[in-house]
Amino acid sequence: MRLRFIAIASTLLFALAANAVPPGSDDEIDARLQPYGTVNRAVIQEVTVAAPAAPLTGTEVYDTYCATCHAMGIGGAPTFADTAAWAPRIAKGMDTLMASTLNGINAMPAKGLCMSCSDDELNDAVTYMVDAAK
């Protein structure tokens, strides 16, 4: 019994001693624990500021945002190039059309969900749709 206890205790002590200290010096261990690579935020910010995005054309805004509803008339949206559907809206004038575009109307949310679009980009998109309906 005593021999069995010594064998078990020796095995446990050997296992603990083998795993207690990782190989290498403190500096080597610290080097292994360092994250891989670094990020220089100043360079990222400089690149972002140096390359502003070009404004979208009316066609690009329509294709990216407006066509989702206006291509098929979803939620009562006047379909693209549908003269009959657009005529009463066009008759109200561009200022009214832009107010509806910027603020939303009926099922259409404000800016047609293009929150990153400028007023000029949205104006170009509305002009694109109006021109197609004339």
Contact 119, 102 (CB under 8 A): yes
List the domains of the chain with CATH numbers. Answer: 2-50 (no CATH), 58-133 (1.10.760.10)
Radius of gyration for the chain, computed over Cα atoms and rounded to the nearest angstrom: 33
For residue 80, give Cα distances in angstroms to 6, 13, 68, 84, 120.
88, 80, 11, 11, 20
Closest CA to 97 of 72, 128, 55: 128
List the structure tokens of 66. Answer: 């407006």
pLDDT of residue 10: 73
pLDDT of residue 4: 72
What H or E segment, with its residue span, contains residue 30?
Answer: helix 26-33
pTM recorded for the entire structure:
0.62
Dihedral sign of CA atoms 114, 75, 101, 91 in order? positive
Distance from C-alpha of 24 to C-alpha of 60, rounded to nearest angstrom: 59
Distance from C-alpha of 82 to C-alpha of 85, rounded to nearest angstrom: 5
pLDDT of residue 30: 81
pLDDT tens by residue, the chain, 134 residues: 666 767 776 776 666 665 556 677 888 888 778 777 766 666 666 655 555 679 999 999 999 999 999 999 999 999 999 999 999 999 999 999 999 999 999 999 999 989 999 999 999 999 999 999 98
pLDDT of residue 101: 96
Distance from C-alpha of 77 to C-alpha of 129, rounded to nearest angstrom: 12
pLDDT of residue 6: 76
pLDDT of residue 41: 67
Q: What are phi and psi of 108, to 5 degrees?
A: -80, 120
